[in-house]
Amino acid sequence: MTRGNSTVRAAGIVTVVVAALLGSAYALGRSLVPDQVPGHSTGATTNADGPHYADQPGGGEPGGTPSAGSGPAETGQDGTGQDAGGDNLFGAHATSGSRRLALTFDDGPDPRYTPQVLATLREFDVRATFCVVGENAQNHPDLIQAIVDEGHTLCNHSWQHDVGLGARSADAIRSDLLRTNEAIRTAVPNAPIVWYRQPGGAWTYPVVTMARQLGMTPLHWSVDPSDWELPGASKITATVLTQAAPGSVVLLHDAGGNRQGTVDALRRILPDLTARFELEALPTDPT
């Protein structure tokens, strides 16, 4: 019996040692495997609220991802496609082309925020321009229809908010813009789409050229309250009301993240803007 007990104890010790070694080997192997395989990023992430776009307006070099914390010049457009800060817009429009002020809303439509924006614009009898993302247009065709039904203008904002789109091949740019237009026209078959806004304002000659070849005018902006950084309704309001001028194109967002601050700011902005300016949806015949 003593010899048998010794054998059992020895076997148990061996089992424990083997299990410990296997556990150590597994842990070591896991530590050597990356948590996420790197891949091409479009700047979009998803959660319960829908797509969130990480790459928002910035002042990087054309064709690249804009550098964090820097924005494009907001004033000083000289009408040549070159702003006072020296950023080349390759001919993209940064003003409305008249003394009227244009409100623009990017990254939608979004089922939480776009209806609130539409309701507020309706209350003040204001028309605006919505630069929509293709995947969101595909997912929410009813909101595309609502935008058109209420007299607002549509603008192509790429399929998935690809800030680097302008650095891709002509075929890739063309495919992205056409796919977005198709999603919009699936919702509203005869919708005019005569404007294109490059995500992040990362304009390049190829993306401007392709947009024009497809019958769309490149659209930039002149007032940017950086609402995508979630500064709060008060700061958004102050920036817009301070910088707004005849011909301004105001950049706001109705999707791509938590936009309640923008919605709240809009209710504060519109009484002042409508008292000082004539507001317009950008025309569907910009030529």
Give the residue numbers annotated as catalytic, written as ranges: 106, 253
Q: How far is CA 211 from CA 12, 19, 173, 191, 194, in A?
A: 73, 63, 9, 17, 9
Provide the β-strand partners of residue 132: 156
Contact 120, 259 (CB under 8 A): no
Question: Which of 218, 232, 283 shows the shortest CA–CA distance to 261?
Answer: 232
The string of DSSP letters for 208-276 reads HHHHHHTT-EEB--SB---GGG---HHHHHHHHHHH--TTBEEEEESSBS--HHHHHHHHHHHHHHHHH
Residue given tokens 């659209």 in the structure block: 219
Which residues of the chain form beta strands (DSSP E)? 44-47, 50-53, 102-106, 129-132, 153-156, 193-196, 217-218, 249-253
Question: Which of 200, 198, 191 shows the shortest CA–CA distance to 152?
Answer: 191
